[in-house]
Amino acid sequence: MNNDIIEKAEKCIVNTYKRPSIVIEKGRGCKVWDTDGKSYIDFVAGVAVCSLGHSHPRVVKALCSQADILFHVSNLYYTVPQVELALWLVENSFADKVFFCNSGAEANEAAIKLARKYFSTNNEKERYKIISMERSFHGRTMATLSATGQDKVKKGYDPILEGFDFVPFNDIDALANKINSSTCAVLLEPVQGEGGLWRPAPGYLKEVRKLCDETGALLIFDEIQTGIGRTGKLFAYQHFGVEPDIMTLAKALGNGLPIGAMLAKEHVASAFVHGSHASTFGGTPVVTAAALEVLKVLSEEKVIEHCGRIGAYFMERLMWLKSRHSSIRDVRGIGLMLGIELDTEGEPVVNKCLEKGFLVNCIQGNVIRFIPPLIISKQEIDDLVLCLDEIL
């Protein structure tokens, strides 16, 4: 059946993805099955989305229960699930206010707009530039690809939007030399995901915060991939003793349902007033009810603590793998956001893993990334590592 579905897809779906020749039909926990009945252990998790795995019973129940009550009334009206989710996020983060949307790109769009609106509202319209990091990834809309520090994402879309400058990640001197009176914000991922799983150097984020405070610029953390437990804490900024002014979330917040969120401190969020920004489907009852249940499961079932422990175990196993194979240049990451950098192209390794029943993906051409559900087990990790050992 796989081939039949793929032939139909080639006729009617825009060819923006390079996909393997399998059709995923169902999933449960950390496993998925294709239409031919073959099973795979999922170390991609919808690109760091399905943190509770596939078809988690509590999330399914919350989704179905809310769907039976109310699907959608738009943001012209208050709804209980949206308010409850916003309160949970505010009570468990640095933020005072939340704006809901549908994706990470939209959350970053909202953050970019809020940063500019904040200074415009304060009669500093000349402060509109945003400094982002080289290797960063912030989305595929025109504003967010303009804010992304990877040329491959921007190719073919000139003219790129103005107002974005770039400096190397972990280079505080470069940032200090670039930031000036026209800078409204510094935008970065606390741990670069798509860019290659790069962690901040010790003290780097504190120095960025200090620079922003000294110059009056806002600090925006893109936690779309790092947020909601992926690093072993609810938010990655909690590892580093630094709070942003604005933070963006998406991916794991809905465990597969489309939701994004922009969080901000009160004095910044107040720049958004009636009509400043909007989203028809942002924070609908069904999606927010499911997202709230995701957060409750993470907390009540101590999934984030498990992520920290199992992530450390996974790192140990990858270091063991590196000791056996000179083709592994580096092992990087944090929590369950890990990767191995190879001295050759990574796609053949991805394809061989697929043949052997494991879903992994490759970023930056030669980094094999592992972003499994946070409920992954030691046995499933061991199975993957032994598979990689054989392949390499």
In angstroms, what is the C-alpha Rg of the chain? 21
Q: Which residues are annotated as a binding site for N(2)-acetyl-L-ornithine?
A: 140, 279
Contact call for residues 70 and 79 (beta carbons, < 8 A):
yes
CA distance 62 to 256: 14
Average pLDDT over residues 10-14: 93
pLDDT-derived band at 1 (thresholds 50, 70, 90) equals: confident
Output the six-digit token pair for 211. 């620079």
| Collapsed DSSP state (helix, strand, coil) of residue 150 | coil
Q: What is the pLDDT of residue 3?
A: 86
Beta bridge partners of 378: none
Taking only the tens place, the pLDDT of each residue in 47-91 is 999 999 999 999 999 999 999 999 999 999 999 999 999 999 999
Q: What is the pLDDT of residue 316?
A: 98
Q: Which residues are annotated as a binding site for pyridoxal 5'-phosphate?
A: 104-105, 137, 222-225, 280
135 backbone dihedrals φ, ψ, rounded to 5°: 75, 0
Taking only the tens place, the pLDDT of each residue in 350-368 is 999 999 999 999 999 999 9
Q: What is the pLDDT of residue 2?
A: 81
Q: CA of 332: how far to CAs of 194, 306, 314, in Å?
A: 13, 19, 11
Kindly report the average pLDDT of the chain as a whole number: 97
pLDDT-derived band at 22 (thresholds 50, 70, 90) equals: very high
pTM score: 0.96
Q: CA of 120: how far to CAs of 113, 130, 241, 248, 271, in Å?
A: 10, 14, 30, 21, 9
Of the candidates 240, 250, 247, 241, the residue with the CA atom closest to the CA atom of residue 265: 247
Taking only the tens place, the pLDDT of each residue in 97-146 is 999 999 999 999 999 999 999 999 999 999 999 999 999 999 999 999 99
Q: What is the pLDDT of residue 122?
A: 95
Which structural domains are found in the chain, ordered by start?
2-55+302-391 (3.90.1150.10), 70-300 (3.40.640.10)
Q: Which residues are annotated as a binding site?
A: 104-105, 137, 140, 222-225, 279-280
Contact call for residues 260 and 102 (beta carbons, < 8 A):
yes
